[in-house]
Amino acid sequence: MSTPGDINGEEPRDDVIAAEYVLGLLSSQERHAAERRMRQDRAFATLVYDWQVTLETLDSAYGAEMPPASVLGKIEDRLFDSAMKAENKRDFLAGMWNSIALWRGVSVAAVILVAVTFIYQGTPFVGQKPGFVAELSGEDNAVNLVARYNARNGVVTVTPVAAGAANERSLELWLVEGENPPVSLGVLPQSGEGELKVPRDIKADIGAGAYFAVSIEPYGGSQTGQPTGPVIAVGELQSL
Amino acid sequence: MRASEDLAELIARVAMQDRTSFYALYQRMSPKLFAICIRILGERSEAEDALQEIFVRIWQRAGTYSADGRSPSGWLSTIARNHAIDRLRQRKPVSKDIEEAFDLADDADDPEQSAHMKSEGRRIDHCMDELEPDCASAVKEAYVSGLSYQELAERYTVPLNTMRTRLRRSLMKLKECLEQ
């Protein structure tokens, strides 16, 4: 390892090298050398481990940032072959349809379709594919959202109109289309206007007559693949 | 401690190739790991690629996680930091927006961490306080933002060798304090 010498002209001590590795100060080449050494030299590996444990308290400086929904799709593409993926998705979303039926039901545990507004915008994008828009509003007015789907680039733009959700929760957007199981379109950004990139295989399902629904989930989104919190808004997609 | 036990259980299930748990783990941890990528790489599209690779590794390496004292969130963050730093160091000489790199995120309370780290955290806080303020913040900035000695030297407007010497001395002091 070509780490320059220490103050006294000595090579740096192993625990300093281990710390430099954990801090991320080493060059690419030095990092690889340190990793090779960790595999062969148990004492050195222990030094690295100790620094990792010690310094992990600094991880609290990182906040949280919602990744775009497309990332998970790419991970699935790399890890799971498509047949198994489809099967898995069915499992993942199994039982969801029942809860959607519930959402649409009369009894109002949490859900009611308050208003679906048709927004007419003339013909602003002549010659382009149509977009869709849904205004989503909830019974208790916790949140109002306008979701726009741009068929040209497959982007759903969501604008919270009066967001007042508890800050440790996430809003998750679902696509409900015909009798198919609902599909998660991802977790909405915590604040402000947000965009979700619709996975390629879902694009075809988005059209007039489908619904967008938003549920309140634990931070980061539903862990079960089913809505676990109240559905606060449902809206039908209308042609622009 | 409960949150961290749940997380350890999820990782254990992922090790058994349980995809539902993998999705759950992704839902739960991707915002935090993505924040790490953005902070270190400074660029969203590269951070997305990095996050993808990180979760592929988590799927492949979940079996190597064992509850031997490492907190599950620390284990996951280490995978993320290591990968982000590898990418950063493989880039051509740094062209990172320094301002952005120092835009410290607020220390949002993370239950997975705060539970596990209370005692360890107090000890390192105490030892960090023993360092000169500049040195303590250089250690933090190196860790959190993945800054190189060169970038730290520019940031603190001292020669590279001075920076290196100071930081190494700080690390040795930190180690001595932690061992007391």
B37-84: per-residue pLDDT in tens? 999 999 999 999 999 999 999 999 888 887 556 889 999 999 999 999
Q: Which residues pair with B134 in a beta bridge?
A: none
Full set of structural domains in chain A with CATH: 14-61 (no CATH), 70-239 (2.60.40)
Chosen for mutation from A23, A62, A196 (greatest number of chain B CBs closer than 10 Å) is A62
The rounded distance, in Å, linking the Cα atoms of B165 and B120 is 26
Q: Tokens for A148?
A: 């726009």
The rounded distance, in Å, linking the Cα atoms of A121 and A203 is 22
Per-residue model confidence (pLDDT) at position A186: 80
Interacting residues of B117 by C-beta distance below 8 A, sequence separation 6+:
A56, A57, A60, B71
**pLDDT tens, position by position, A197-238:** 676 777 777 777 777 887 777 767 777 777 776 676 777 777
Tell me the backbone φ, ψ of residue A49, rounded to 5 degrees.
-55, -45
Q: Is the pLDDT of residue A70 over 70?
A: yes
B52 contacts in chain A (CB < 8 Å): 71, 74-75, 78
Chosen for mutation from A17, A25, A91 (greatest number of chain B CBs closer than 10 Å) is A25
Q: Tokens for A10?
A: 């000595």
The rounded distance, in Å, linking the Cα atoms of A214 and A236 is 12
Residue from the list A7, A28, A80 with its beta carbon closest to the beta carbon of B165: A7
Interface check for A196 against chain B (CB to CB < 8 A): the answer is: no
Counted residue by residue, chain A has a size of 240
Residue from the list B24, B110, B149 with its beta carbon closest to the beta carbon of A60: B110
Give A83: exposed, middle or buried? Use CB within 10 Å, 0-12, 13-18, 19+. Answer: exposed
Whether pTM exceeds 0.90: no
3-class secondary-structure state, position A221: coil
Instruction: Answer whether B113 sits within 8 Å of A57, measured CB to CB.
Output: yes
Interacting residues of B41 by C-beta distance below 8 A, sequence separation 6+:
B47, B50, B84, B87, B88
The rounded distance, in Å, linking the Cα atoms of A22 and B160 is 20
Full set of structural domains in chain B with CATH: 1-92 (1.10.1740.10), 113-180 (1.10.10.10)
Q: Is the pLDDT of residue A119 over 80?
A: no
Q: How large is the ipTM?
A: 0.84
Q: Answer yes or no: are the C-beta atoms of B4 and B116 closer than 8 Å.
A: yes
Q: Tokens for A205?
A: 């399902």
Instruction: Answer whether A65 sits within 8 Å of B148, measured CB to CB.
Output: no
Q: Which of residues 216-235 of A touch B (CB under 8 A)?
A: 219-225
The rounded distance, in Å, linking the Cα atoms of A112 and B152 is 55
Query: CA angle, corner A211, sides to A210 and A213, nearest 5?
Result: 155
**pLDDT tens, position by position, A141-193:** 455 566 666 666 666 666 554 344 444 567 788 887 766 677 888 877 655 45
Chosen for mutation from A3, A29, A46, A65 (greatest number of chain B CBs closer than 10 Å) is A65
**pLDDT tens, position by position, B111-165:** 444 444 455 666 788 899 999 999 999 999 999 999 999 999 999 999 999 999 9
Q: Is the dihedral of CA B19, B25, B31, B34 positive or negative?
A: negative
Dump the DSSP string for B86-111. HHHHHSSS----HHHHT-PPP----H
CA A183 to chain centre: 13
Q: Tokens for B66?
A: 């064992």
The rounded distance, in Å, linking the Cα atoms of A23 and A5 is 18
Nearest CA in chain A to B7: A223
A221 contacts in chain B (CB < 8 Å): 27
